[in-house]
């Protein structure tokens, strides 16, 4: 499903034939996001050439959309004048993102372009913690005073619009820069020309603080269907806004991070096909190692039961089924709770309610599985396949199944809550980690029940 209003084939052909005027006119109709995609298709020694034929303003928008590797190659090819032209067109939040991605020498060149007030703002923004609202907000918003009229407001918007990230929601501050309200362009359009901003503004504007977690900010924007939310400092002074497009990016990045963490990987930022095998190895090996080492405990449990197993080798055949079912049950519970935590649906205080709910679900799941397994053991394994399964062995297997599912679900729902409580990311408490613990638990239960019922 291709949607861009630019033909990449045609653009590549024009580039190959060095028909730069044609390429320029083709690209001038394209969306910045599509031109950025075009950059991914061309050789690195062509980046500078193509970038130079873009008109100045879209060029900066394209620059923001590029991968940081590509941005660095371009900056290295820029003269100081070219660099300063691009930087002038960037919004502050994009500049901050750029600086955070670049190596020290590039950062130095970038910072040399900011003086006085601008440099101060930039330094302030760079100080906010990585995950905070402060780190993703932009300082380019429209600010009104209460005593402006609607006509003044429109005139002001016309003057400053070009430098602002959004004009559709504007903010009203008092003399000390405290946020006192907001007003949308829609309200302005529907109000009389001489109406006062102070009279038509929405007071009690929903806002976030610079220290709020960026995921929280994004979820607030989604909750209130807002196009932007104002960000205030500790003294309730308006210092920036976060726009809906950045909120979307935050939510998508966080989801990708969670998918990685929940599956025993360290998050990587690059698209898959552009990630080198060595980088994939780096993101995957730490958890594999850790989980391999912890899985040896399970081996120790089996070892300690070696002699008994030698007399009843039949029991070994059920180990994978018991371990997998336990792991899957625990994984279901843990992922459910991890997501509920991240959506703010549950918190640590709900721990007893959650355990009680999971216990009931576990009993239902455990009994269903246990009964069906019992039936299967007799119908398929004993009658059809002629295996030597006594009722008492079947009982041990099915009872283990019930108890394992119960333990798995309770461990699965408790660990993410505990992780959150002590300040860890609950996402690492997903299936792979839970599986390792539940494996050990299920084997202990299995062997204890076997010992008891089979008198081993």
Residues 309-328 that bind a copy of itself (CB under 8 A): 309-310, 313-314, 316-321, 323-325, 327-328
Tokens (6 digits) for 34: 């599509």
Task: Please tell me whether residue 152 binds a copy of itself under the rule CB under 8 A.
Answer: no
Closer Cβ to a copy of itself, 41 or 293, answer by number: 293
Closer Cβ to a copy of itself, 19 or 158, answer by number: 158
Contacts with a copy of itself in 16-35 (CB under 8 A)?
A: 29, 31, 33
Closer Cβ to a copy of itself, 51 or 305, answer by number: 305
Report DSSP state, residue 183: E
Cα 81 to chain centroid, rounded:
36
Closer Cβ to a copy of itself, 114 or 287, answer by number: 287
Candidates 73, 369, 393, 399; binder of a copy of itself (CB under 8 A) is 369
How far, in Å, CA of 292 to CA of 299, rounded?
11
Specify the residue for token string 């900056």. Answer: 75
Task: Please tell me whether residue 407 binds a copy of itself under the rule CB under 8 A.
Answer: no
Please give the size of the binding site for a copy of itself, defined by CB under 8 A.
119
Contacts with a copy of itself in 264-303 (CB under 8 A)?
A: 264-265, 271-273, 277-278, 280-281, 284-285, 287-289, 291-293, 295-296, 298-300, 302-303
Distance of closest approach, residue 405 Cβ to a copy of itself, in angstroms = 8
Contacts with a copy of itself in 191-210 (CB under 8 A)?
A: 204, 206, 208
Residue 254 neighbours by CB distance under 10 Å = 19
Task: Please tell me whether residue 253 binds a copy of itself under the rule CB under 8 A.
Answer: no
Task: Please tell me whether residue 48 binds a copy of itself under the rule CB under 8 A.
Answer: no
Q: Are strands 179-184 and 208-209 parallel, antiparallel or unpaired?
A: unpaired
Contacts with a copy of itself in 70-99 (CB under 8 A)?
A: none
Burial profile 378-387: b = 16 or more Cβ within 10 angstroms, e = fewer: eeebbeeeee
**How many CA atoms, within 13 angstroms, populate the side-chain half-sphere of residue 431?**
16
From residue 204, alpha-carbon distances to 182, 197, 201, 219, 233 in Å are: 8, 14, 10, 19, 16
How far, in Å, CA of 244 to CA of 228, rounded?
6
Task: Please tell me whether residue 379 binds a copy of itself under the rule CB under 8 A.
Answer: no
Distance of closest approach, residue 435 Cβ to a copy of itself, in angstroms = 6
Distance of closest approach, residue 354 Cβ to a copy of itself, in angstroms = 8
- Residue 183 pairs with which residues in a beta bridge? 170
Candidates 28, 123, 263, 390; binder of a copy of itself (CB under 8 A) is 263
Task: Please tell me whether residue 451 binds a copy of itself under the rule CB under 8 A.
Answer: no
Distance of closest approach, residue 200 Cβ to a copy of itself, in angstroms = 14
* Contact status, residue 148 vs residue 183, Cβ threshold 8 Å: no
- Residue 229 pairs with which residues in a beta bridge? 242
SS3 168: coil
Distance of closest approach, residue 76 Cβ to a copy of itself, in angstroms = 26
Distance of closest approach, residue 139 Cβ to a copy of itself, in angstroms = 18
Contacts with a copy of itself in 121-140 (CB under 8 A)?
A: none
Task: Please tell me whether residue 375 binds a copy of itself under the rule CB under 8 A.
Answer: no
CB within 8 Å of 445: residues ≥ 6 apart = 400, 403, 404, 407
How far, in Å, CA of 83 to CA of 88, rounded?
9
Contacts with a copy of itself in 221-250 (CB under 8 A)?
A: 221-225, 227, 244-245, 247-249
Report DSSP state, residue 212: S
């Amino acid at each position: 499903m291709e949607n861009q209003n630019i033909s990449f084939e045609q653009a590549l052909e024009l580039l190959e034939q060095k028909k730069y005027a044609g390429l320029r006119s083709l690209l001038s109709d394209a969306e910045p996001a599509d031109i950025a995609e075009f950059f991914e298709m061309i050789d690195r020694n062509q980046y500078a050439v193509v970038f130079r034929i873009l008109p100045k303003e879209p060029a900066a928008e394209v620059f923001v959309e590029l991968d940081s590797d590509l941005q660095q190659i371009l900056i290295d090819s820029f003269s100081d004048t070219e660099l300063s032209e691009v930087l002038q067109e960037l919004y502050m939040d994009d500049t901050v993102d750029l600086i955070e991605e670049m190596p020290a020498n590039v950062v130095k060149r970038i910072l040399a372009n900011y003086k006085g007030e601008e440099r101060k703002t930039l330094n302030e923004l760079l100080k906010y913690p990585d995950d905070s609202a402060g780190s993703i907000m932009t300082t380019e918003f429209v600010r009104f005073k209460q005593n402006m009229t609607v006509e003044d407001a429109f005139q002001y918007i016309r003057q400053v619009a070009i430098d602002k990230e959004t004009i559709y929601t504007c903010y009203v501050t008092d003399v000390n820069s405290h946020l006192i309200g907001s007003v949308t362009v829609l309200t302005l359009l529907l109000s009389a020309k001489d109406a006062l901003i102070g009279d038509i503004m929405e007071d009690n504007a929903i806002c976030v603080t610079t220290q709020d977690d960026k995921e929280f900010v994004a979820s607030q924007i989604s909750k209130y269907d807002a196009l932007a939310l104002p960000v205030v400092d500790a003294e309730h002074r308006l210092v920036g806004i976060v726009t809906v497009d950045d909120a979307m990016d935050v939510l998508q990045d966080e989801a990708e991070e969670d998918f990685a963490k929940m599956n025993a990987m360290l998050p990587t930022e690059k698209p898959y096909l552009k990630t080198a095998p060595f980088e994939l190895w780096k993101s995957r090996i730490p958890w594999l190692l850790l989980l391999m080492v912890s899985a040896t405990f399970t081996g120790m449990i089996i070892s300690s039961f070696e002699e008994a197993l030698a007399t009843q080798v039949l029991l070994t055949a059920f180990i994978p089924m018991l371990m997998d079912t336990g792991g899957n049950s625990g994984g279901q519970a843990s992922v459910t709770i991890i997501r509920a935590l991240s959506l703010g649906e549950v918190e640590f205080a709900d721990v007893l309610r959650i355990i009680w709910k999971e216990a009931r679900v576990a009993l239902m799941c455990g009994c269903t599985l246990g009964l069906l397994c019992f039936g299967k053991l007799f119908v398929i394994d004993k009658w059809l396949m002629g295996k030597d399964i006594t009722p008492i062995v079947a009982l041990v297997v099915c009872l283990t199944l019930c108890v394992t599912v119960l333990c798995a679900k309770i461990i699965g729902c408790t660990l993410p809550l505990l992780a959150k409580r002590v300040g860890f990311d609950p996402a690492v408490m997903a299936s792979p980690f839970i599986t390792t613990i539940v494996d050990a638990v299920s084997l202990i239960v299995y062997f204890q029940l076997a010992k008891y019922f089979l008198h081993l």
